[in-house]
Amino acid sequence: MRPAFLAACGLILAFLLTPVLIVICFALNPEPFIAFPPSGISLRWFGKFFASRDFMAAFWLSLGLGLATVVIAGLIGTLAAIALSRGRFPGRAVLVQLFLSPIVLPSILTGFALFQLAMVAGLGRNLGILLAGHLVVATPYVLRTVLAMLAQSDRALEEAARNLGATPARAFREVTLPLIRPGVMAGMLFAFIVSFDQFPVSLFLVSPGQETLPIAMFNYLRFDFDGTIAAASCVSILLAVILVIGIERMIGLQEYTRL
């Protein structure tokens, strides 16, 4: 059984990683088309990507949106998780499912609904609406991971701190927050990745001149197809890998096994 299990895991891993390897080969291939084996190794497409004013503007916009989403979604998701976990009120289970529904719904439906809402409200498409759209799809990831950590944490520790004279704020800061930190960090990591790579919601909510990186890549593909797109994809992949390594260095990925 064990050899069969390992073989199945290896096949699944190969299936997941093969597209990434193809993208990397395309990005490093000096030819303007996919060729295997590559005729050589070149960084020309990375140079073209970083030299493109449109791609760089889109990259920095996506990065800024991702960081803003991390901060706001982390705050909202954590506070909402505490309220839903500790609160005892009618309709609590319904609210949990409602707040987590953007994870289940197709993002394109969420983007279209937000677009219609923005048009009906007369808000138009702007950076604020785009950020709100990213928060809608990213916050549930923080909420879900923090709820998982709160379900496993011992509330008696917080109550003991309160009995020893700690204020509610101090008990939360010194007892509860360290206990749920892995869930908060994991949720914020997911929130950034979801925001940075978000395409369906951004497609409906971006305004001219304020395109995110996925939208810029999509528009580029409409008129051209070369290794620049692969280079942009490699940059996105590398950014996600750096974030995961950073989390590992800070708190260790083994902390997430409890989620």
Any domain includes 215: yes
Q: Which helix (H) or strand (E) holds 148?
A: helix 127-152
Tokens linked to 206: 């971006």
Tell me the C-alpha distance between 71 and 77, whole Å: 10
Report the CATH number at residue 166: 1.10.3720.10
The angle subtended at Cα 151 by Cα 182 and Cα 97, nearest 5°, is 100
Nearest by Cα to 219 from 50, 54, 33 = 54
pLDDT for the residue 219: 87
pLDDT for the residue 36: 66
Give residue 17's region: left, alpha or beta (phi > 0; psi -120 to 50): alpha
Any domain includes 254: no
179: three-class secondary structure by DSSP: helix
Any domain includes 236: no
pLDDT for the residue 134: 92
pLDDT for the residue 59: 92
Any domain includes 171: yes
Tell me the C-alpha distance between 187 and 201, whole Å: 19
The residues near 164 (Cβ < 8 Å, ≥ 6 apart) are: none
pTM value?
0.83
pLDDT for the residue 64: 92
Terminal-to-terminal C-alpha distance of the chain: 27
**Total length of the chain:** 259
Any domain includes 38: no
Q: Find the Cα–Cα–Cα–Cα dihedral 192, 193, 197, 199, rounded to 10°.
A: -70
The residue type of 202 is S
Any domain includes 238: no
Q: Range of 68's domain?
A: 52-223
| Residue 210 DSSP one-character state | -
pLDDT for the residue 10: 84
- Mean pLDDT, contiguous 10-residue spans, the chain (259 residues): 81 84 82 70 86 91 93 92 81 83 86 88 84 92 88 75 74 80 86 90 86 89 82 88 76 53
pLDDT for the residue 98: 84
pLDDT for the residue 257: 47
Any domain includes 90: yes
Provide the number of structural domains found in the chain: 1
